Structure 1
Amino acid sequence: MDCNKCIWADKGSGTKVFCPFSSCVVKPSFKENLLKAMENRMAALQDHIVQDFGGGLVGRNAEWREVKYWKEAIERGEFD
C-alpha cells in the first residue's frame, strides 16, 4: 500500500519506520484476517457455552464477551 501522506516511508525498501496514519501501517488483509480469527474464536467459545461441560462457564462467557467487544471495535473502525 503506497501512502503519499507519509514522510517516513522509505521508498526504496517499501518499509515504514513510523507513521501516524494507521492506513499506512495496518493493511486491509491483516484486518480481515484478524476479524476472521476472532469470528472463529467466538464460534468455538459459543460451542463450549452451548454444550455446557458441567457448568463453570463464567470464564468462557467472559472470554466470549471480550472477543466480541474487540471484534466490534475493530469493525467500527476505532483503530483505523
Structure 2
Amino acid sequence: MRAQNAMTRVDGNAAAGLLAEIFAVDATTMRGTCGACGSVGPLAEAVVELDDEAAIIRCRSCTHTLMTVLRADGGVRLVIGSVRDLVRA
C-alpha cells in the first residue's frame, strides 16, 4: 500500500497532462537546458517525482529541479527552478 502523497519516480512523459494545461504544445517534446549543469534534452527524458498534487521535474544528468508543476485551487501552477530555457522541438 502506498502512503498518502508518496512520490513515484518516472520519466518526463508522466508530466504531460499537467504541462498540457500550461503549454499549447506537447511539452514533453520541448528541449530544456539545465542551468546547473548545462545538459540539454527533451523534457520526456527528465526524471519526474510524481504524486497526487505535484510533479517535480529534475535534470537527468545532475538531478537539480528544473521546474515543479503543482495542482492547486482548481488550476495548475508552474514554479521555475534551474531550467535555463525551453525550446519547442
Q: TM-score range by the shorter chain?
A: under 0.3
Question: What TM-score comes out, normalization by structure 2 length?
Answer: 0.23
Name the one with the larger helix percent: 1
Alignment TM-score, normalising by the size of structure 1 = 0.25
Structure whose CA Rg is larger: 1
